[in-house]
Amino acid sequence: MSAPLLHLDHVTMQFGGLKAVSDFDLQIGSGELVGLIGPNGAGKTTVFNVITGVYAPTQGRVLLEGRQVSGMKANRIACCGVTRTFQNIRLFPRLTCLDNVAVAAHQHRKAGLFSALFATPAFEKDEASLRARSREMLEVLGLGNHADSMATELAYGQQRRLEIARALAGGPKLLLLDEPAAGLNPQESEELMRLITEIRRRFSLTILLIEHDMKVVMGICERIAVLDYGIKIAEGSPAEIRANPKVIEAYLGEEAVHA
């Protein structure tokens, strides 16, 4: 097998005296849908921040298709094909939905700053294609009617979907979803699961997903890694995770019984 799409090679992230993530090792193959779970404060989002270059890991490396990306700037990593959504929604409040998505399409631009300043025909063409691409992403996420609304005018569930549309517009190979189902009602979660499955197929994505909603995690993930206090305590199929005593002890406890 060739190099995995994403390889977290014994990553440690330390903030002062606190080890948020400790010796975390994870490989994700191309096309996989992997879940990352764990109790609050387990270091899940820190893992995302390390992968996307918000932090450089204290120890270990992050490899994308065998190439080291840890230590690179966040925007460079995004251009390598890793985009994300945020746990606490981070849309651009003063931009329209279409523009929110178009910001991410930015990395596919061909026209430079000067052709933009003077609005040359080449620039106009480039801009039209960026807009078309962004509009397409809105359509895919069912937000086609909201292209010209301000991002903040959307309902909460729609804002979550707009974040996904925005992340998709970057044309990622690896999509990181940070609690996409947080705050959604059961029906919306149901819909989200269908949506994730669909975009994955349509854009042949690899997805790493942080989620607390066990129905979502167990329902769509093929493989799950469990973090507790920054340490990976288990990894395996949903069924294995459900049965793992360490996981039940750390976190799943009640849920596993009722699920």
Partner 1 sequence: MKRVLGPLVALVALLALNRFLPTVLNPYYFQVLILVGINITLAVSLNLVNGFTGQFSIGHAGFMAAGAYGSAMFTVTWGQSLAAAMIAAHVPAPVAQGALLLVSLLLGGGLAAIFGYLVGLPSLRLRGDYLAIVTLGFGEIIRVLILNIDAVGGARGLPGIPQWANFFWVFLVATIVIALAVNLANSTHGRALFAIRDDEIAAEALGVDTTRYKVTAFVLGAFFAGVAGGLFAHYLSYLNPSTFTFLKSIEVIAMVVLGGMGSITGSVLAAIVLTLMPEALRAVKDYRMVIYALMLIVLMITRPQGLMGTRELSWAFLTGKKQGGRS
Query: Which one of residues 72, 92, 191, 219 is an interface residue with partner 1 (CB under 8 A)?
Result: 92
8 Å CB contact between 48 and 96: no
Locate the DSSP E strands across the chain.
6-15, 18-28, 33-37, 59-64, 67-68, 82-84, 174-178, 206-210, 223-228, 231-236
What is the amino acid identity at position 81? G
Q: Is 130 in the site for partner 1 (CB under 8 A)?
A: yes
What's the rounded Cα separation, in Å, for the pair 211 and 160? 13
CB of 127 to partner 1, least distance (A): 6
Choose, by CB under 8 A, the member of 19, 106, 215, 242 that binds partner 1: 106
Using CB under 8 A as the binding rule, whether residue 74 contacts partner 1 is answered as yes
Among positions 69, 104, 143, 177, the unique one binding partner 1 when judged by CB under 8 A: 104
Region from 38-46, 69-77, 179-187, 210-218 binding partner 1, contact rule CB under 8 A = 69-77
31, amino acid identity: G
Out of 113, 187, 257, 258, name the contact with partner 1 by CB under 8 A.
113
**Residue pointed to by tokens 């609690």:** 179
CB atoms within 10 A of CB 196: 23
Cβ proximity to partner 1, 93 vs 245, nearer residue: 93
Q: Are 6 and 174 in contact (CB under 8 A)?
A: yes
**Of the candidate residues 95, 231, 233, 256, the single one contacting partner 1 (CB under 8 A):** 95
What is the contact surface with partner 1 in residues (CB under 8 A)?
52, 54, 73-75, 78-79, 83-84, 86, 90-96, 98-99, 102-107, 109, 111, 113, 116-119, 123, 126-127, 130, 147-150, 166-167, 170
